[in-house]
A and B are shown apart, each in its own frame.
Chain A
Amino acid sequence: MRIKQLIIGLTSAVVAISGFVEIAVADLKFPMLVYRTGAYAPNGIPNADGFVDYYKMINARDGGIGGEKILHPECETGYKTQVGVECYEKNKENAMVFQPMSTGITYQLIPKATNDGVTVYSTGYGRTSAKNGKVFKWIFNAPATYWDGASIAVRHVLKENLGNIKGKTIALVYHNSAYGKEPIRTLEVLAKKHGYKLMLLPVDHPGQEQKATWLNIRKSRPDYVLMWGWGVMNSVAIKSAASIGFPMDKFIGIWWSGSENDVLPSGMGAHGYKSLTFNAPGDNYQVHKDIKKYVFDKGEQSGDGSHFGTVLYNRGLFQAMVQVEAATVAQKIHGTSKITAAMYRDGMENVKLDAKRYQELGFKDFAPAFENTCENHGGSGLAAVQQWDAKAKKWNLITEYMYGDSEVVNKLIAEDSTKYAEEQKLTLRCN
C-alpha cells in the first residue's frame, strides 16, 4: 500500500514539476544581478527596485510582453565580480538578458555570454568598446559609454571656458577598479587634443577615507575635478570637496556619481555639484503613474517604495524598459511571443526609441532618442549635465543632451575592439 502511495506521489510530483518547467520555459526570464547587501547596497537597492517595479507593472498592466509573463529571479552579487559570475552561471539557462550592474562583472561575462549566446546589456557602463557591434555580437551598452561620458564632461568644461582649456588642470578622482579606470584613456587623448593637464587620483574600495586625495587636490588646485565613483566613495568625495572649499560647480561626476545618496549626506555643502545623466530626474512621468496604479496601489512595490522617482530608481526603470522593448521588438521580428535567447539578441540589436515610441511607453521626454544597429550597440552617446539644488533637494537638468567627441571616441573604440577581435580570433560582422 505504501509503495503504491509512494509511486502515485512521485508520479504526481513529476507531472507537477514538468508542468511548472513548461510554464517557466514559456515565460521570459530576465535574471537580475543585484546588490541589496554590502557596501554598495545604498546604490544597488533603488536601482533594483526600479527594475522590479517596472517588470511588475508590465506583468500587471499588459499581462507581460506579448502575453508572456516576465520572470525576474534575483541573485545577490554584493558587487563582487566572482559572485556575479557565479550568479550568471546559475541563471543563464533560458535567460534572455543579463544586466550585470558592475563593470568588473561585465568584463568577466563578455567572453562567457558570447560563448553561451546570451545577451549582456550594460546600460552606460561596462566595456566601452563593446559599442562596436561588429566585434561584440552579444554585448550592448546603449545609450552612452564611459568614453562618451568623459568627452561630454570635457565638452561641458570647454563650453564654460569659451572653448579654450589649454594649460588648465583637470583631475580625475576614480574608483580604483575596472569601472573607474575606464575613462582614463579618453581623457588622456583629449588632454593632448585640448592641451589640458590630467591629474589621476585613484581611490581604493570602498572609498570611506579620502583625506589624502583631497589634500592633494587642495595643494594642486586643479581647475576641474571629474569623478568616476560609486557607493560611499561619492558621498565622501562630495563632502570632502565641500570641506576643502572646492567650488562645487567645477566638480562633475559621471552618471553613476549623481544620485540623491551621493549628495544628501553633505547637506548644503553639495549645493551646485554637477553630474552627467542620460535620463531625466523626477517622478511625474506616465510610467510613474502606471507603476503607482498597478504596483504601489496594490501594495506590491519592491522594498518600502521610498526610492520611487529617485535618480537610481529612474535609471532602473529606463534599463528595464529597454530590456522589455528589446523583447517586444524580437517578438515582432520573429513573429512569435515565445522568443529564444538568440531571437532576443536580434530584438536588442533593433531597438529604436524615438520620441513617439518613448511616449507610447510612458517615457515622454525622459531620455534622448537612440537606436541600436548591427554596427552600433552603444546608442546615441548623448548625455546632459544635471546640477544638485541642495535647498530644494532636487536635481535640475542644466544643459541640453549633448554628444561627446565622436572623432576621438570612435577612433579609440575601433582600436580597442579590433585588438579584442584579434585576440579572440573573432570574425567581424555586419559586412
Chain B
Amino acid sequence: MSVDLLNFIETVLNGLMSGVMYSLVALGFVLIFKASGVFNFAQGVFALFAALTLVGYQTGQVPFAHLINELFGTNYHHWYASMPNFLAIILTMITMIALAWVIERLVLKHLINQEPIILFMATIGLAFVLEGVGDLMWGSNVKVLDVGIPSGGSEWLEQATIGLAPEGSDYYGMYVDVLNVWASVIAVVLVVSLALFSQYTKTGRALRAVADDHQAALSVGISLRTIWVLVWAISGFIAMVAGIMWGTESGVQFSLSLIALKALPVLILGGFTSIPGAIIGGLMIGVGEKLAEIYIGGFFQIGALENWFAYVMALVFLLFRPQGLFGEKIIERV
C-alpha cells in the first residue's frame, strides 16, 4: 500500500475518532430537544461544569472557597487531598442530577407552553449563569483531569501498520490516539444503553411518548415535569462523559464550553431529533473537516479550515435536506 494511501486512511480514521468526540456533545442536545423541544444552548457549559465538578471532587477543593474566604476572612481551599475516581464520578453524577432538578424548578417549570424561542433564550441565559457559577465554585485555573483513561498514540497500531508501507519507505505506522478509541467505545455503549432504555423500560417509553406529543402524553397521565428532570439529568450525565473526554484531552478550562459550537453542524447534518443521527453526523463532520484541512488546505496552501469547514458542510445540508439525515420533516398545516 502506498504511503499516501496509508496517510489518507489515517486521516479518515482520526476524523472518525474526532467525530465521536463531537457526537458525545451532540447527543445531549438531541435528548433534550427530542423530549422537550428545547435547543439547550447550555449543553457545552454543562460539559464544562461537570468536568470542573469532577476535578473539584477528585482534588478535594472547597466549592466557593474564594467567596467564603473573602466574606469570612477564612483560608479554606481543600477538604481532603484526593478522592477515588469512581466515587468522584458518582458524586458528579448526583450533582448533575441535582442541577437538572434545580433547572426544572427554577427555569423550565415557569416556561411551560412558552414559544420555543423563549425556551432557547432561557438556555442562553442558563449557559452564562452556569459558567459564572462554575467559575465562582471551582475557579478559572486550568485543571488536570485524570480518571485513568489512557491517552497518547497507540503503539500497537503503529507497529501493526508499519509493514503495510512499501519496503524502504520512511513510514512511521498509523497514528490513533488511544483516548479517542476509548471515547468511541463509550459512545457506542451510551447509544446502545439509551436505545435499550427507551425501548424496553416504562420510563423510556414515557420519554418517547413525551417526545412524540406533549399533550397526548399528558392526557395519559405522564408527568411532563418528571420527564423533563429525567431527560435533563441524562443529558447532564452525557455532558459529564463529554467533559471527561474533552477535559482529559486538553485539561479542564473554560474554553471547554465552546465545544458546543462543534456540535451544531453535527446536529444540522444528523438531525435534531435522532440519536443515530448525532453519531453519523459527528462522524461525517469529523472526517470532512480533517480531510479538508489536510488535503484541500494543503493543496491551496491555506490553513485553519478545520473549524469552519464543518459549517460549510452544514450549510450545504441545510440547502438540500434541512431536517438533516435522520431528522423528522416538520410539516405544519396553515
Contact = CB atoms under 8 A, between A and B. Distances in A.
Interface of A: 36-42, 45, 176, 200-204, 206-213, 215-216, 218-219, 231-232, 235-236, 239, 242-245, 261, 264-265, 267, 269, 299, 303-304, 306
A267 B149 CA distance: 14
Given A204-B307, A208-B258, A235 B251 contact: yes
Nearest to A306: B141
The CB with the most chain B CB atoms within 10 A, among A203, A207, A219, A235, is that of: A219
Interface stretch (B208-216, B268-276, B287-295): B287-295
B254 A39 contact: yes
B192 interface: no
Q: Which 7 residue pairs are nearest across A and B when measured between Cβ atoms?
A: A265-B251, A212-B293, A39-B255, A202-B304, A204-B307, A202-B303, A41-B140
B153 A208 contact: no
B34 interface: no
Contacts, number: 126
Contact of B262 (A41, A209, A236): A209
A264 B308 CA distance: 29
Interface in B127-182: 131-132, 135, 139-142, 144, 146, 151-153, 172, 175, 177
A41 B256 CA distance: 12
Chain B, interface size category, equals 35 or more
Interface string B274-291: 000000000000000110
Interface stretch (B6-14, B84-92, B196-204, B235-243): B6-14
A366 B139 CA distance: 29
A231 B255 CA distance: 9
Given A204-B307, A261-B142, A265-B144, A37 B254 contact: yes
A200 B304 CA distance: 10
B73 A299 contact: yes
Interface of B: 7, 10-11, 14, 18, 65-66, 69, 73, 75, 77, 131-132, 135, 139-142, 144, 146, 151-153, 172, 175, 177, 246, 249-251, 253-256, 258-259, 262, 289-290, 293-294, 297-298, 303-304, 306-308
Nearest to A42: B142
A39 B251 contact: no
Contact of B144 (A216, A219, A244, A264): A264
A264 B246 contact: no
A261 B293 CA distance: 27
B293 A243 contact: no
B255 A213 contact: no
Contact of B253 (A42, A211, A244, A267): A42
Contact of B304 (A203, A208, A245): A203
B258 A269 contact: no
A202 B294 CA distance: 12
Contacts of B7: 219
A343 to B, nearest CB: 37
Contacts of B306: 204, 209-213
Given A37-B131, A42-B142, A265-B250, 8 more contacts: A41-B140, A41-B253, A200-B303, A202-B304, A206-B255, A215-B290, A244-B175, A304-B77
A204 B308 contact: yes
23 contacts: A40-B255, A41-B135, A42-B254, A45-B140, A176-B304, A200-B303, A202-B304, A208-B255, A210-B306, A211-B18, A211-B177, A212-B11, A212-B289, A213-B303, A215-B294, A235-B142, A243-B151, A243-B153, A244-B175, A245-B172, A261-B251, A265-B144, A269-B152
Contact of A244 (B69, B153, B246): B153
B140 A42 contact: yes
The CB with the most chain B CB atoms within 10 A, among A209, A243, A269, A306, is that of: A209
A265 B142 contact: yes
Given A201-B303, A269-B152, A299-B73, A215 B259 contact: no
Contacts of A39: 253-255, 258
Contacts of A203: 303-304
B249 A236 contact: yes
A40 B304 CA distance: 19
Given A37-B254, A42-B253, A218 B66 contact: no
B253 A212 contact: no
Contacts of A215: 10-11, 14, 175, 290, 294
B307 A264 contact: no
The CB with the most chain A CB atoms within 10 A, among B132, B146, B289, B306, is that of: B306
Nearest to B246: A208
Contacts of A38: 254
Nearest to B262: A209
The CB with the most chain B CB atoms within 10 A, among A37, A211, A231, A235, is that of: A211
A36 B131 CA distance: 13
Contacts of B65: 304
A264 B132 CA distance: 24
A208 B307 CA distance: 10
B294 A264 contact: no
The CB with the most chain A CB atoms within 10 A, among B77, B259, B290, B307, is that of: B307
B14 A211 contact: yes
Contacts of A36: 140
A243 B155 CA distance: 11
Given A208-B259, A219-B7, A304-B77, A232 B153 contact: no
A198 B69 CA distance: 51
B60 to A, nearest CB: 14
Nearest to A245: B153
A267 B179 CA distance: 15
Contacts of A269: 152
A272 to B, nearest CB: 15
Contacts of B140: 36-37, 41-42, 45
Nearest to B257: A39
